Structure 1
Amino acid sequence: MEDQATGVVIATRTALDQASALAVQYGFSILGAFILLIAGWILAGVVSRASYRVISRIRGIDETLASFFQNLLHYSLLILVFITVLGQFGVQTASIIAALGAAGLAIGLALQGTLQNIAAGIMLLILRPFRVGEYIETTNVKGFIKDIGLFATEMRTADGLYLMAPNSTLWNTPIVNHSREPDRRQELSIILAGGSDIELARKIILDVVKSDQRVQTTPSPVVYIDDLSAGQTTLKIDYWTITSAWTPTRQDVISKLLAQLAAANIALK
């Protein structure tokens, strides 16, 4: 009986010693992991905010793009901290990294179209083929730019309709920007009826065009015969104006030409 009691006491002490050793060992591991987690969380926030300030100062970098890179760096650092914390407990992090890589590949394949839009959005924000407020035209869409996001670009059509275009459709097609260049050429055609005084018509047209203050003198406006056929003559008018005044100048010039040519009894077809 005494031997059994002694054995129980020894076994109990051994178990308590092992439990104490495990408590000390894992207690320090848990404390270290907790400290590492807090420090990593703070460091990720500091580094991501610092990166945002640096990236936002780069010429041509949009605020949306700077925020995207900030969030990407922030969550990447948090994942790295989480993997490091797991390593504190003896977890094989190599298998976790491999699993994350496989998961990332699967997600990338599942969201292939979305990732294409993100990549296209990044390139649009960096290269800036168009900006907010500008009017663009592609083979698929045309309108005024309202907002450029990472996934899609919001536009307003000329007749006031809301339009959202995926960035990949804008990046993979030629873009005509009607607002980017400061000056723009205007071309008008006038068809004179047969028997009209062509030289008088040319003089009236040039006088009307040059009298508009919005029409630039360099290069100077020109009026020339573009086509000559039986019963009619086509005159072409070329002049330059600032882009912002292109449409109102065109409207005013056409109105004045119609009035002046009618007053000179020059018939149009």
Structure 2
Amino acid sequence: MQDLFETELWQGKTVADLLTLEFLASAAGSVIAAIAILLLGWVISSWLQHRVENLGKRHKHLDEMLFEFLASIVRYVVLGFTVLFVLNTFGVKTTSVVAVIGAAGLAIGLALQGTLSNVAAGAVMLILFRPIKIGDFVVIAGEMGTIKQINLNYTVLADLSNVQVIVPNSEVWGNVITNYSVNPTRRAEWTFGVGYGANLKTAEDIIRSTIMSDERAHTDPEPFIQVNNLNDSSVDFLVRVWCSADDYFAFKADMTRKVKEALDEGGVDIPFPTRTIVQAAE
């Protein structure tokens, strides 16, 4: 630490020397130069950050999230060199500064292991390996929502009620990630029950025509519509039809209602649990 303060600016100076106009002018010049370097470094770092970010935005085949991460690294590297230049302006030996920063960094790293694990998960695992990206609809650590932001420390989701959910990156990488946005198609599945007295061929035809007449239903792969289970009070049809991932929720909800209405119109009985209460004779 002693070398840190043995600078050309004040080394060997007495109090009288420090009060001379020559020394004050020299100190003022160093301060002005330092401010100028700081401003220049700030402007250059911001300009480079935006240039790198815009590079990812201009080209659709490049990952925007990765370039945002690289832009942050570029910015902090430039600011770090700017600080070293400022210290050099005052005559501070930068080698001593680097040694002090290294020792402080080790102590801070030991104290902030949890935070650093989030940074490692965000910087290395999530950003470089890219299992998820902004705009994906996912389930992470039990939270379902759309990814709005991924940074070094945490991932931000908007849940189904548009409420912000913040998940630490160590929790994101350390848990199972269910990503509904990766594949372009999904398979919707329903179970429709009809009464034992119903004509199964008629019921199957109604279910098939109702669902497959919807433009969102895919014919390839072929739909699966078969009797799957014989319950106590119903014969269950298992129905599996493929659709676009973006249409999944609306398609499934719409078909649930339309098939029920179609079965009613076709005179197909849809059973429901009934209970008979018999009063014991006195």
Instruction: Judge conservation of contact 1:206–1:222 (CA < 8 Å) in 2.
Output: no
TM-score by length of 2: 0.70
Aligned residues: 244
Out of 220, 231, 239, which is 2:222 matched to? 220
Out of 256, 265, 268, which is 2:268 matched to? 265
Cα distance 1:139–1:42, how it changes in 2: closer, same or farther (>3 A)? closer
Residues 184-195 of structure 1: pairs in structure 2 closer than 5 A: 184-195=186-197
Corresponding residue number in structure 2 for 1:5: none
Instruction: Judge conservation of contact 1:55–1:61 (CA < 8 Å) in 2.
Output: no
Corresponding residue number in structure 1 for 2:179: 177
CA distance in 1 between counterparts of 2:222 and 2:159 reads: 33
Name which of structure 1's ranges 248-257 and 159-168 shifts more when overlaid on structure 2: 159-168
Out of 255, 258, 262, which is 1:253 matched to? 255
SS of the equivalent of 2:182 reads coil
Asked if 1:105 is matched to 2:106, the reply is yes
Instruction: Judge conservation of contact 2:145–2:159 (CA < 8 Å) in 1.
Output: yes
Cα distance 1:73–1:94, how it changes in 2: closer, same or farther (>3 A)? closer
- How far did residue 31 of structure 1 move? 11
CA distance in 1 between counterparts of 2:239 and 2:271 reads: 15
- How far did residue 238 of structure 1 move? 0.7
Deviation string 1:150-207 (CA, Å, 9 cap, x unpaired) is 3323322223433222222112222112233321110111223333322221111111
CA distance in 1 between counterparts of 2:50 and 2:256 reads: 52
CA distance in 2 between counterparts of 1:124 and 1:189 reads: 38
- How far did residue 81 of structure 1 move? 2.3
Corresponding residue number in structure 2 for 1:78: 82
Cα distance 1:150–1:206, how it changes in 2: closer, same or farther (>3 A)? same
CA distance in 1 between counterparts of 2:225 and 2:75 reads: 58
SS of the equivalent of 2:63 reads coil
Runs of at least 5 residues in structure 1 that lack an aligned partner in the other structure: 1-18
CA distance in 2 between counterparts of 1:139 and 1:49 reads: 35
Rg larger for? 1
TM-score by length of 1: 0.73
Runs of at least 5 residues in structure 2 that lack an aligned partner in the other structure: 1-15, 57-61, 273-282
RMSD, matched Cα: 3.5
- How far did residue 52 of structure 1 move? 3.0
CA distance in 1 between counterparts of 2:48 and 2:253 reads: 50
Corresponding residue number in structure 1 for 2:156: 154
Instruction: Judge conservation of contact 1:44–1:74 (CA < 8 Å) in 2.
Output: yes
- How far did residue 229 of structure 1 move? 5.2
Out of 244, 252, 265, which is 2:246 matched to? 244
SS of the equivalent of 2:161 reads coil
Corresponding residue number in structure 1 for 2:63: 60
